[in-house]
Chain A
Amino acid sequence: MSRFVLSLFGGLALGLAAGLYLGWVQFPVEYVNSPAPNLAQQYKDDYTIMIAKGFLVDGDLPGAVSRINMLRVDNVPEYVQNTTERYITNSRALDDIYALIALSEAMGRLTPLMQEYREIIAPEGGSEGGAG
């Protein structure tokens, strides 16, 4: 009898471990209809840069702010500033940094770090395309 009990519980333990591994690691639940704040940081950054580039085209600051609001950040200018400074610190693509600086500047957040960078990368002495 103990042989059967041992086999059953041993098998159950092994199976449970395998099932949890499969369910949590190998094939975890994939959520749909997720809210934007749950986006991975990489995609939040991508989204912000796309909005910043759109802002360079149309100069629509309220539109840019309302679009970034989709990420439900507490303070949009501060969020853009932080993203911009992180991009500068990590030496990301100049094009992205330029767009972010323009948006951050339009939101009144031109920090010394951005100022220095802006002078280096901004074409012909400043932001353009509605950044102001």
Chain B
Amino acid sequence: MTDLAEQKPAVPDRRARRSRAERRARTQERRQRHAQMTAQSTTPESPAPARVEERPARREARIASRYDRPRTVISYPVAVFGIIVGIVGGLFLAWNVAPTEEFDTVPRQLGGNERAQYVVAVMLAYQYDGDFNRALNELVALNLGADPIQAVADIACDLASTGYAATTSGQNAIRSLIDFYQPQGRTGCATDLIPAAIAQASPVIEVTVSTPTLRPPASKTPTPVGTPVTISTLPGVVPGEETDEPFLRQPTPAFTRQFSIVQIDTYCRLESSGLIEVRVRDSGGEELPAQPVRVRWDQGESIFYTGLHPDRGLGYADFQMEAGVRYTIDMPSLSDAFTQTLDAAPCATNTGDTAVTSYIVWFRANA
């Protein structure tokens, strides 16, 4: 068995050797014939009889030359294929697998909100130097679209519609945008949302109102009868004219105070999920009732008053947030809005339940 197995491979080897020898002999034969043919074709004598046998000979010569042609080291079609595949692979690697690290960003690459902030900066600088061409070039570089000035109007509108306009800083910034686009004949909703009167000092006049039926705040403070009230008028509004929003305010002592947010605490409880608790105190630490507190969000705002839950304290008020919404809080005309938002974000209670983050906001009168 072992002998047979050892002998077996000898048969194909011998065959292969024979066939190789045959092939070599045949190739030599062909070469000789080709040489003869070439010699015959180059000989000027007796061309006529040679022509008859020339055709098969040439064919053989052609076949012979295909095998005789010296081979190049590279197969060009395969190399081209490799290059194409390599380029595709290289681009995939460079763009998807290992893209260049982000650095040296230009302003036009900024995200929407931060690009808006950059536009605000450009407008503030424009207010300083009045260089319209510089401002316009900056806006063009920001890639704001076909009409960068209208884009400024749109950005102003967006900012005015959000909590950004809740602060004096925000209003001033929006005004700088309006001052830029309005003279250029562009329009935007910011013009309506941020009336010119806000930034200007509103003239204040004193009149005597006989009936105190004007928007009583939800207050525990006794409503004064027949006392002088302060009316703040906007330019173009005649005092006494009926408007949807009368600018009449009760002259409670608190209105003469200015308040600041001194502390904001958060907690997470299922029973008071998503609640903004407000505490308003005077500079001595006494709780103040009947103080207006305003909460704003993207879609609207709500004004409520302290003192409606006397069991929790005279300076207490609360507001129920909706999950996932962001709010800003201030005391209208009495404080600047808190620049950070209060997020109604989900949180986990001590018992492992999911609730919405609640806040305790402390306002205190400035001394």
Interface residues of A (CB under 8 A from B): 3-4, 6-24, 28-36, 38-40, 43, 47, 49-51, 53-58, 60, 62-63, 66-67, 70, 95, 99
Known: A35-B111, A39-B107, A54-B124. A11 touches B82 (CB 8 A): yes
User: Which residues of B, 58-90, contact A by the 8 Å Cβ criterion?
Assistant: 71, 73-76, 78-90
Name the residue on A nearest B118 (C-beta): A47
Note all chain B residues with C-beta closer than 8 A to A3.
71, 73-75
Q: How would you classify the secondary structure of chain A's contact residues: helix, strand, loop or mixed?
A: helix
Say whether A22 contacts B78, CB under 8 Å: no
| A6 partner, pick from B74, B99, B118, beta carbons under 8 A | B74
Say whether B74 contacts A15, CB under 8 Å: no
Instruction: Tell yes or no: B112 within 8 A of A by CB.
Output: yes
Say whether A36 contacts B128, CB under 8 Å: no
Name the residue on B nearest A69 (C-beta): B339
Name the residue on B nearest A48 (C-beta): B121
Say whether B109 contacts A22, CB under 8 Å: no
Say whether A51 contacts B103, CB under 8 Å: no
| B86 partner, pick from A17, A39, A95, beta carbons under 8 A | A17
Note all chain B residues with C-beta closer than 8 A to A34.
102, 105, 109-111
Instruction: Tell yes or no: B100 within 8 A of A by CB.
Output: yes
Say whether B105 contacts A40, CB under 8 Å: yes
Known: A16-B89, A16-B90, A53-B124. A70 touches B75 (CB 8 A): no
Known: A15-B86, A36-B114. A23 touches B75 (CB 8 A): no
Say whether A7 contacts B124, CB under 8 Å: no
CB proximity of B328 to chain A, nearest CB, Å: 13
Measured between alpha carbons, how far is A39 from B317 in the docked complex, in Å?
43
Measured between alpha carbons, how far is A16 from B88 in the docked complex, in Å?
8
- In the complex, which of the residues A18, A51, A58 has the most CB atoms of chain B within 10 Å of its own CB atom? A58
Measured between alpha carbons, how far is A95 from B169 in the docked complex, in Å?
23
Can you list 30 A-B contacts with CB-CB less than 8 angstroms, sorted by A residue number? Answer: A3-B73, A6-B74, A7-B78, A7-B79, A8-B82, A11-B80, A15-B82, A15-B87, A19-B94, A23-B99, A24-B100, A34-B102, A34-B105, A35-B110, A35-B111, A38-B103, A39-B110, A40-B105, A40-B106, A43-B106, A47-B121, A50-B124, A53-B125, A56-B128, A57-B128, A58-B124, A66-B169, A66-B339, A67-B121, A70-B117
Instruction: Tell yes or no: B40 within 8 A of A by CB.
Output: no
Known: A3-B71, A57-B127. A15 touches B84 (CB 8 A): yes
Note all chain A residues with C-beta closer than 8 A to B71.
3
| A11 partner, pick from B86, B90, B92, beta carbons under 8 A | B86
Measured between alpha carbons, how far is A63 from B124 in the docked complex, in Å?
11
Note all chain B residues with C-beta closer than 8 A to A63.
167-170, 172-173
| A17 partner, pick from B90, B105, B124, B170, beta carbons under 8 A | B90
CB proximity of B8 to chain A, nearest CB, Å: 26
Instruction: Tell yes or no: B291 within 8 A of A by CB.
Output: no
Known: A7-B76, A23-B94, A60-B168. A50 touches B83 (CB 8 A): no
Name the residue on A nearest B172 (C-beta): A58
